[in-house]
Structure 1
Amino acid sequence: MKLKLIAPYLTLIFAFLIISCSSDSSNETPVDPKAANNKSLGTAARDFLSAEAFTGLHVEIAYVNGFKPSATTINNLRNFFSARLNKPDGITITETVVPATTVGSLSREEYVKIEKDNRTVFNAGDELAVWIFFADQNSESDEGNSRILGTAYLNTSCIIFEKTLKDFSNRIGGANLTLLESITTQHEFGHLFGLVNLGTAMVTPHEDEQPDDAGVDKLNKHCNQEDCLMYFQTVGNAVGGVMNSLPTFDEFCLADLQANGGK
């Protein structure tokens, strides 16, 4: 899933910020040598949530020097996992420094290759592994005033476009960077957990429908509740200064997670 921001035009009026995610329909790219970490997005949802197959979680946080998420962001993520995942053996975090990228804006092919070349943590025994990369470039899918903030693209893989988050935060009156990092990261993990209707079944229908460019309504794997972490506009509200605290899953998303083995 891609987290996209339609940024405001540089005028003296306020422009409306829109967030959306779109399905990454590209074919899976091999991430050798561990096939268990190279499956479709959402297929590891129950593995994340329950203790049936995996009783521990090993998180590899990769970043380019200068683009490391804040200590508070990492602590927020650890608390987020503890609150929602049944992992009695706990959470382990490994940090990996990735060489600076030189290709400019990153395509899916490029960030999958970065993972293949640098990922060191894979599923082992009863420990589930996940890779999250904080990138020093923006997304190649950025177009016009549209910006991709993060993408969950395989069952245990996601990327955060840290450069884009920094650009928004560094503007005059920009949102707090730690807040942007935390919301974007936790939103993408919501997709890895199978939300919404992406590997974790809905207890009550609550998947949002938004018209596409042709005006056709389609399911977009987000929650239809505006106060939910998985609402399509959540990060846009943070960027726009509307939000000053971390959102959480609403009652419908929580019910879905709990029905699939989570807390």
Structure 2
Amino acid sequence: PGSGSDSAAMQTMAVRDGNGYRLNGTKRYITNSPSAKIGLIMARTSKEALAKNAHVSAFIVDMTTPGITIGKPDKKMGQSGAHIADVIMEDVHIPGSALVGGEEGRGFQIAMQSLDNGRLSVAGMGVGMGRRALDTAIRYATERKAFGEPIANFQLIQAMLADSEAELYAAECMIADACARADRGENIQRKAAAAKLFSSEACGRVVDRCVQVFGGAGYLAEYPAERFFRDARILRIYEGTSQIMQLQIAKSLLREFASEGAVW
């Protein structure tokens, strides 16, 4: 449960037991775990000190299997509709057929393949949240009056709206490009990370501007701006934090540079 972004620190084990496996370990902050019927569980299938991320395998598990306990749902800052809780596994017996791909040690590869799509999904969420926040800010700015006229007439308000539109449009273009590359069968790991990084960070700025346009009203639970602010914050954390995205993008760039044998 303490590994977080460090997937190499995974402690959950899947030990061979006859024709199946026994799972032991705890997974933390699992979205929708209180209502899930099926889970994709990543676990180590060897205790040997091998290469980083070696012997991580993926299993499809019936969440009603004896030995699985779902913890108490955590109280969160936002995203109230998506409950999260710990998944505790104690001597959970699963059949050998639960192993994804029919081969041990492919879990990390499987996770990385799905992670690209997951990151693009989070990037899309950032655009969606940002669009809703911008639309709400525009409507409020045209209705709210100060100094005898709508605040939408003031250039500093207009600047915030314009910056939000520019950033959301850029995020949309990045997502569209990454998706098109994926459709062509290209490796989009770096593009997906870049789109997720930019979109989630941009969304944070857009919802912050929305609160600012609302002024004091933006700080009240009575208005939607404060909920946008809370809901958007998680986008910079799940499916890889912004800092992990930066590291992966930089490493990819440097590997590419080294492989091309570029000369300064």
Report the TM range for the smaller structure's normalisation: under 0.3
Higher helix share: 2
**TM-score scaled by length of structure 1:** 0.27
Answer with 1 or 2: which has the greater Rg.
2
TM, length-normalised to structure 2: 0.27
Higher RCO (C-alpha under 8 Å, 6+ residues apart): 1
